[in-house]
């Protein structure tokens, strides 16, 4: 069988695989006739009673020796780690055959950005008036209904202060993944602007280990700082 015939045969096998439905079946690649080793590539659904047992999609790599013994030499799996279909709780796992058993060598969390067509908002941050406040935690799940444990959030920050014109201090809103004073990646400032003129910042804010952020506010007086916060996307 020449190269073109092998390609045609492989295409026919792939076509039969596609007709069986998504993620089902197998196709086999066999080298020269003098070589009895067969490499088999197969994509499977992983199903079980509980997610911890492995619900997901797996790609096992099968090998067959000269005696016809077939073993799984390695695998790449994407497995849910919770009962719900929560993609933020999926793991990508790589395994290789070692000491007659399949050993999990690495485990990786799957990360990705989730853009939103409409922002996550909160009635606590839709123009409410604030005074100066030290670093304070915002539980993004409870306050903005964001998924628990997100890695970062894309924030739109808008604020204004009725005494901004005469101020020379850092009036505005700081967001941060930590509770260290005056430490954060984004600071929406309005000091020096005409009174009640809006300032705006759009920034990615890293979250702490629980998927939450901290805010720090500096106002010119009591309840003079109006603040709007929106989340337009997040990383899982």
pLDDT digits (tens, 9 = 90+) for 25-60: 444 444 444 444 444 445 555 555 455 545 666 677
pLDDT, tens digit, 9 for 90 and up, residues 59-84: 777 777 777 777 767 777 766 666 55
Separation CA 42–CA 25 (nearest Å): 7
Instruction: Give the pLDDT of residue 108.
Output: 46
| Paired residues of 157 in beta bridges | 201, 229
In terms of average pLDDT, the best of 12-21, 109-118, 206-215 is 206-215
Over 70: is that where the pLDDT of 17 sits?
Answer: no
Q: How many Cα atoms are found within 13 Å in the side-chain-facing hemisphere of 165?
A: 5
For the domain made up of 113-235, the CATH class stated in words is mainly beta
53 burial (CB, 10 Å; 0-12 / 13-18 / 19+) is exposed
49 CB burial (10 A radius; 0-12, 13-18, 19+): exposed
């Amino acid at each position: 069988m020449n190269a073109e015939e092998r390609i045609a045969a492989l295409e026919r096998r792939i076509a039969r695989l596609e007709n069986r439905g998504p993620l089902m079946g197998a196709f086999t690649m066999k080298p020269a006739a003098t070589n009895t080793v067969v490499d088999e590539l197969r994509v499977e659904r992983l199903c079980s009673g509980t997610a911890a047992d492995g619900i997901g999609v797996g790609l096992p790599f099968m090998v067959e020796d000269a005696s016809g013994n077939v073993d799984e030499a390695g695998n790449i799996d994407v497995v849910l780690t919770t009962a719900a279909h929560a993609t933020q709780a999926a793991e990508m796992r790589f395994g290789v055959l070692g000491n007659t058993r399949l050993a999990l060598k690495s485990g990786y969390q799957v990360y990705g950005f989730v853009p939103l067509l409409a922002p996550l908002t909160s009635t606590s941050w839709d123009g409410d008036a604030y005074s100066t406040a030290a670093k304070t935690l915002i539980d993004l799940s409870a306050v903005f209904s964001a998924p628990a444990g997100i890695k970062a959030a894309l924030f739109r920050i808008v604020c204004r202060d009725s005494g901004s014109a005469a101020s020379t201090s850092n009036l505005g809103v700081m967001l941060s993944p930590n509770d260290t004073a005056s430490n954060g990646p984004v600071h929406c400032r309005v000091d020096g602007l005409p009174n009640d003129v809006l300032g705006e910042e759009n920034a990615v804010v890293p979250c702490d280990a629980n998927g939450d952020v901290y805010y720090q506010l500096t106002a010119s007086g009591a309840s003079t700082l109006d603040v709007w916060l929106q989340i337009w996307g997040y990383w899982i």
